[in-house]
Amino acid sequence: MSDLTVGDVIAEQSFELSRDSLVRYAGASGDFNPIHYRDDVAQSVGLPGVLAHGMLTMGLAVQPVIDWLGTRGVVTDYGVRFTRPVLVDATDGATVTVVAKVGAILDETTRLDLTVTFADQTVLGKAQVQVRFS
């Protein structure tokens, strides 16, 4: 894609997570760790409350890239570090915001760098997606 420049913001989106979202992800993924749906269990292991699955945050964070890409290509690589938890309040839920920027234009792929934040703090580190245009 010759019309892309490093630093361009290609997508920006916010996601509203609720406890329902966590239960839905637990069922879909098979990850039934109770720290993702029970406050008492979360607190018993020293957490402030129920957390989103890291893999849910990772999974939704790439979706703005998928929508932007459409049928023009495929994701060839996607990696993240889990740096901070996303606390999902029983009443208010949690808002996770994703900004995707062009990080590098390589020979065969384009790297998109994701900034993923919750409560004004980054929750994923080195979140990078490589896409190959067809």
Partner 1 sequence: MNPELQGRVFEPVAPYLVGREKVREFARAVFSTSPLSLDPAAAQAAGYADVVAPPTFAVVVQEATLAQLLAEPDGGIDFSRVVHGEQRFSYTRPIVAGDELTATLAVTSIKSLGGNDMVTAESTIVDASGEHVVTATSTLVVRGEA
Sites of contact with partner 1 (CB under 8 A): 15, 21, 24-25, 27-31, 45, 54-56, 58-60, 62-63, 66-67, 71, 74-82, 129
CA 116 – CA 61 distance, rounded (Å): 7
CB-nearer residue toward partner 1: 50 or 129: 129
Lookup result for tokens 């129920």:
50
Q: Provide the minimum distance between the beta carbon of 115 and partner 1 in the complex, in angstroms, as a whole number.
A: 17
CA 55 – CA 80 distance, rounded (Å): 10
Q: Provide the minimum distance between the beta carbon of 74 and partner 1 in the complex, in angstroms, as a whole number.
A: 6
CB-nearer residue toward partner 1: 7 or 96: 96
Q: How far is CA 115 from CA 11, 21, 36, 52, 72, in A?
A: 11, 21, 23, 17, 23
Q: Provide the minimum distance between the beta carbon of 99 and partner 1 in the complex, in angstroms, as a whole number.
A: 16
Q: Provide the minimum distance between the beta carbon of 49 and partner 1 in the complex, in angstroms, as a whole number.
A: 16
